[in-house]
Structure 1
């Protein structure tokens, strides 16, 4: 599902049921989008999402949801509206608490995992 307001492709369907193998390298190899999110699986009340990203996401916030970003390959920069920028290199993660205005940037193709509550709106909550 492509969000017509933004240049992102967000697949909210759960790709894998419990007891199914999740093969991230195959998904990365098949991806042709510049900013791609795919929900991989659900774990209790959260989902694990794969992001294959390059470029800049818009500023947004989630009123009721924390977000974990974990970099597998590349470099992800998480900016917050207080002027803070955190660089995440492979095997590094960062939690953005609910209510914090933020954006993510990837100067090169970057592979990330995100852990979020089921039902989160990836593009943020309306103000």
Structure 2
């Protein structure tokens, strides 16, 4: 039996688009059939840009050494923090600082972009 928890998320950490290639977000979104999909799109210096196509809620977690930026493309992203919830409609972004426990939720199918350190494990630091 493994000590590593399993999560019901489709998480792809491979870099899908190398430098000098056009990133086709609409094509990825159209092809997505998962309720919680996370794909690394590209690497920018020591950070990565990730696409999320989500519905439902993620688990509570934190990242001890890296900040995380969320940007809503379509739908509605809710970021729960201890004592407050941030609502991100399309065109809005928010930074969760390192060490802050949080969870993301989407009451409807929502498309988001995330920018974070390349070493971040999306499920959090155990």
User: TM-score normalized by structure 1?
Assistant: 0.95
Size of the alignment, in residue pairs?
123
Q: Which runs of 5+ in 2 are unaligned?
A: none
Which residue is 2:20 aligned to?
19
Which residue is 1:96 aligned to?
96
Q: CA RMSD in A?
A: 1.1
Output one character per residue of 1:81-102: Cα deviation in whole Å (capped at 9) or x when no partner: 2x11000000000000000000
Which residue is 1:77 aligned to?
78
Verify: 1:63 aligned to 2:64, yes or no. Answer: yes
Which residue is 2:112 aligned to?
112
Runs of 4+ that moved beyond 2 A:
none
Q: 2:99 aligns to what SS in structure 1? A: coil
User: TM-score normalized by structure 2?
Assistant: 0.95
Verify: 1:38 aligned to 2:17, yes or no. Answer: no
For residues 39 and 4 of structure 1, the distance between their equivalents in structure 2, rounded to whole angstroms, comes to 21
Which residue is 1:7 aligned to?
8
Verify: 1:122 aligned to 2:125, yes or no. Answer: no
For residues 4 and 51 of structure 1, the distance between their equivalents in structure 2, rounded to whole angstroms, comes to 21
Query: What's the offset of the Cα at 1:6?
Result: 1.2
Q: Which runs of 5+ in 1 are unaligned?
A: none
